[in-house]
Amino acid sequence: MELWQERSRNSILCSDLVAQRFGLDSHALAQVVERYPMRITPHQFELIRQADDPLGCQVIPDPRELLDDSLLVDPLNEEQLSPVPHLVHRYPYRVLLLVAGSCFSYCRFCTRKRKVGCSSMSVSLGDILKGIDYIAEHPEVNEVILSGGDPLTMSDRLLDDVLARLSRIPHLQVVRIGSRAPVVMPERITDALCALLRRYQPVYFLTHFNHPREITEATVEACQRLVRSGVIVANQTVLLRGVNDNSETLFKLFHTLYRLQIRPYYLHQMDLTCGTSHFRTRLEDGIAIMDDLRGPLSGLAVPSYIVDLPGGHGKVPVTPDYVQRLGDHARLRAADGTLVDYPQS
């Protein structure tokens, strides 16, 4: 057994243990876990100082999850956009293939909270093969995003098999892997895994840091191993109340990622997922944060602030109104608020 598999086996699943360590009500915690399972990797558990600190509240169950029934169970309408099980076809040219039935840890704010840690998430090899067949039968699809769950919970052998099958589809040009492993299970980013990914270039690796404290010696090493192997690493962050909803935290996060050659790609407005409303921020807050970041932060380190619209309408950028259209010319708002005339032709 590899080190990461052993570490994964030692993940914290017992809510009593968490309640004891952080002085929480174990009965209340157990009730939440009954509906929304809990899983915390040893790496994360060691970094948490308090239940409500920016790392704790991402993974420790919160009774407020059960009070929120007003939002949507499947906010992105993924179930309706699945022509075959575990494949989501929302945009014409790319698909999401859900190849893994579990994650290393269960984020309390997850869009797929409805099934994370539940049997409905489990994926068989037969399901994966059906998804690959679907891609092969759709020549318009030129990109696939492997997600789940976390694709890196798969063994190298299975991942290799999936990537090899995908690489034989002539019209498929790019593979993207979405994984939180570098953040929560850095042991998973082994030299063998990097060598495997190198064989299937171009592979884009999309990871998910939400707070600067997640950037540790181990996570830096994991990301550097990926970067050295030629994989292009980008990051998506979810804007979370009480975790990272201020300019200072996000400046530090994005600047550090940029320095590590990890491109900050998206800042996501929280999806309208049932059980997560205590994490939600207002759009104005996100716009104000982005305003603060532009300028001090290098342009390459500024992510797009986006909303994935409910109902499966896709992602839209959220930008302040920089442009006033005035017939044949426009006026653009500078970072200091000055309006500058700008001819259109």
Q: Considering the rule CB under 6 A, would residue 188 count as an interface residue with ligand SF4?
A: no
Single residue of 55, 96, 107, 272 touching ligand SF4 by CB under 6 A: 107
From 36, 57, 90, 305, the catalytic residue: 90
Residues between 141 and 180 that touch ligand SF4 (CB under 6 A): 149-150, 180
| CA distance linking residue 47 with residue 96, whole number of Å | 31
Contact in structure between 257 and 264 (CB atoms under 8 Å): yes
Q: Could you tell me the smallest distance in angstroms from the CB atom of residue 76 to ligand SF4?
A: 12
From 107, 113, 150, 280, the catalytic residue: 107
Q: Could you tell me the smallest distance in angstroms from the CB atom of residue 338 to ligand SF4?
A: 40
Q: Could you tell me the smallest distance in angstroms from the CB atom of residue 329 to ligand SF4?
A: 44
Cα–Cα–Cα angle for 324, 325, 330, nearest 5°? 85
Q: Which residues are annotated as a binding site for [4Fe-4S] cluster?
A: 103, 107, 110
Q: Residue 31: which of 65, 70, 74, 71 has the closest Cα? A: 65
Who's near 205: CB < 8 A, 6+ residues apart?
176, 177, 179, 197, 226, 231, 232, 233, 234
Is the CB of 106 or the CB of 204 nearer to ligand SF4? 106
Size of the site for ligand SF4 (CB under 6 A): 9
Active site (annotated) includes residue 94: yes
Single residue of 88, 110, 162, 297 touching ligand SF4 by CB under 6 A: 110
Is the CB of 116 or the CB of 145 nearer to ligand SF4? 116
From 39, 94, 113, 180, the catalytic residue: 94
Is the CB of 4 or the CB of 169 nearer to ligand SF4? 4
Q: Could you tell me the smallest distance in angstroms from the CB atom of residue 61 to ligand SF4?
A: 13
Active site (annotated) includes residue 112: yes
Q: Considering the rule CB under 6 A, would residue 112 count as an interface residue with ligand SF4?
A: yes
Q: Which residues are catalytic?
A: 90-91, 94, 103, 107, 110, 112, 271, 308, 315
Q: Which residues bind ligand SF4 (CB under 6 A)?
A: 103, 106-107, 110, 112, 116, 149-150, 180
